[in-house]
Amino acid sequence: MMRCLFVSLLGACFFLFGAQVGAHEDGSDPYDERGLAKGQWVRPALTRAAQAIALDELHINPGLNDAWVSDGAPFQGLFITIYPELELVFVAWFTFDSQPVTGVAAFGAADQRWATAVGSYSGTRIELVLELTTGGHFNTAEPLAQQNHAYGTMVLDFQDCSSATVTYDVPSAALSGMFEVHRAVDSNIALCETLSLAYDPQPGLKSLPEFVNPDTAIAIIDVSVIPLTERGLVRPGYDLFIEGGIITSLGPSGTVTIPDGAVVIDGRGLYVGPGLGDMHTHLTTSGQPAMNESGLLLIANGVTTALNMGDGGTLNLPGLDAQFAGGALIGPTVYAGKDIFGPSDGFSPNRTAADRAGATAIAQRAFDEGYDYIKLYNGLSPEVVDQFRIESARLGMPMIGHIPKSMSMTAALDAGQQMVAHTAEVYFTFLANQPIEALLPGAAQALISRNVYLTDTLTASEAFADMYGGNTERLEQYLQRDGIEYIPQAMINGWMGFFNGGLQPPGSQPGQLDDRLAFFKQMNRSFADQGVRMLLGTDSPSAHVGLVAGFAVHEDIRLLTEIGLTPAQIYEMASVNPGMFITESLGLDVGFGTLEQG
């Protein structure tokens, strides 16, 4: 019934298929070998003359920042800028001539035109989404209304530090093809080659261990089994045999045949149960190995299922799940929600639905890209939510997420929303931002009667309150938490941007949200006790400062324990209920949430 398992000992969880068998002993850093600054994400100094490098030694780096031109199309080219701290690439694609053409110009004609693109990179490839900007004018200082239009896609494949192949597809203009580019000047080739040879996918991070092949036959003997098939059931003194990722035998110790060659784990004093689920993640990897660790860190903390609630518009989450499932990367089963915004939310047009037609288009695109859920956000109108209700039924993509500010909670739930992404959303809507305890039974009944799930995200509420108003003392405490040593500087930079901006609005003070946090805790306790179908979710790792993928789940378990929930209630939130939610909402037999043979 399960793809993966974890064992618990004194509150610490580790993935059985991820048993540590080796690690780097000397702590060596490739930067040391070439005299470059250890652990830095900034551009290091050039330390040697250029030399030819093999394709498998080449990695995208700021040495590729340059103007690139094409001999086959002399009046067009690219400006490429790599931002390693953000793990993003900006590209301007231009065509030009000395004389403009007459009449209506189309992209690809001879007069001056630009398309811009932002995307991610991995290895020797850059993948970009093209946008066309209209309404502006290069030669005026007057403010003009401008619009960015999603235009197509572009892929750059680099053969070395001086040449690349460009593949583009612009469906709306019926343009597609491929052309070769090379640098306009060669001054940065040496820098590019030096940075490629010094490449470390996780500069400054703690080395990660190797892992047992998931197909390895494993036996756990004399272990206490928590099957979660009924509340409070524990079966001590059991043996399990796992082969090909499936529990093929399960029974009292001595009744299970263990073949020669199996890895045997002594389970005395240990417990084994279903893997955990984090039902509110933001896995923003941007294609970089240092960020891809989020999946591994989830697995290492016993999280075998994750629901992603938004990817920043830059990452193919369905593709990431395929890499996890296929073994190219280590990570949990990921279900992907496509976050969709209203005009007032201030996001790019290709992520915004302003009317029914826009809702239909963006829902269809999300379906075609392989997303599982439609995630609603604050600024959507009732009309647009109603259209998403229609598209949800047509495409089989359930609606989840925030409660739009234009609607009451009951109206949003009646429109078909199947999961509310934060307990705080109930506070903002049903309770009208007031800590009114007498309203909690009514809010609980509104959720229960409509069979709607509620995600706690209590660890995110705690982090937001603790650091609100620029509380630097609490910030330092969060940056000393377990797991921070695995976090790349790019993510920490993003956290600091949020700390310096979103957590310090004008007039904010440290401690200002402490009372609200205490009430959020009371809400979660009340809803769990009243029978609301609760889900554990963390809003990690990229959304809130100091919340490390996987480690944040155990912070949430700590908080749920502190507010008085029983271990059985917490385990149901973290395993049984996520399995039920995925099964009911998607109509899938996911086999997640209980531990059973087969």
Strands annotated E in 432-572? 453-455, 534-535, 540-541
Lowest mean pLDDT, pick from 101-110, 454-463, 541-550: 101-110
Instruction: Assess contact for 463 and 546: CB atoms under 8 A.
Output: yes
Q: At residue 239, does pLDDT exceed 60?
A: yes
Beta strands 88-95; 113-122: pairing state:
antiparallel
Q: At residue 38, does pLDDT exceed 50?
A: no
Name the most confidently modeled range: 194-203, 234-243, 344-353, 529-538: 529-538
Instruction: Assess contact for 553 and 278: CB atoms under 8 A.
Output: yes
577: its two tokens: 């209920």
Q: How confident is the model at residue 542 (pLDDT cuts 50, 70, 90)?
A: confident
Q: Domain 276-586 is classified in which CATH homologous superfamily?
A: Metal-dependent hydrolases (3.20.20.140)
User: What is the model's pLDDT at position 135?
Assistant: 65
User: What is the model's pLDDT at position 240?
Assistant: 92
Q: At residue 508, does pLDDT exceed 70?
A: yes
Query: pLDDT tens, 413-448?
Result: 999 999 999 999 999 999 999 999 999 999 999 999
Partners of 115 in the β-ladder: 93
Element (H, E) at 363: helix 356-369
Name the most confidently modeled range: 189-203, 277-291, 340-354: 340-354
Average pLDDT, integer, range 332-356 = 90
Domain ranges of the chain: 5-21+210-274, 54-197, 276-586
Average pLDDT, integer, range 62-79 = 84
CA distance 551 to 13: 10
User: What is the model's pLDDT at position 210?
Assistant: 53
CATH number of 54-197: 2.40.160
Average pLDDT, integer, range 216-222 = 88
Q: At residue 290, does pLDDT exceed 60?
A: no
User: What is the model's pLDDT at position 309?
Assistant: 92
User: What is the model's pLDDT at position 148?
Assistant: 67
User: What is the model's pLDDT at position 292?
Assistant: 63
CA distance 347 to 351: 7
106 vs 356, more confident:
356
User: Could you report how far apart the first and last alpha carbons of the chain are, in Å?
Assistant: 5
User: What is the model's pLDDT at position 519?
Assistant: 98
Q: At residue 117, does pLDDT exceed 50?
A: yes
Q: At residue 32, does pLDDT exceed 60?
A: no
Lowest mean pLDDT, pick from 232-236, 485-489, 502-506: 485-489
Strands annotated E in 391-448? 399-401, 417-420
Q: At residue 174, does pLDDT exceed 90?
A: no
Residues 6+ apart with CB under 8 A from 595: 1, 2, 5, 225, 226, 227, 228, 247, 272, 273, 274
Do 5-21+210-274 and 276-586 show the same overall fold? no
Q: At residue 62, does pLDDT exceed 50?
A: yes
Q: How confident is the model at residue 191 (pLDDT cuts 50, 70, 90)?
A: confident
Instruction: Assess contact for 32 and 38: CB atoms under 8 A.
Output: yes
CA distance 598 to 591: 9
CATH class of 5-21+210-274: mainly beta
CA 374 vs. chain centroid, Å, equals: 15
Average pLDDT, integer, range 348-369 = 92
Average pLDDT, integer, range 395-410 = 97
Name the most confidently modeled range: 189-193, 388-392, 501-505: 388-392
Provide the mean pLDDT of the chain: 81
Q: At residue 107, does pLDDT exceed 60?
A: no
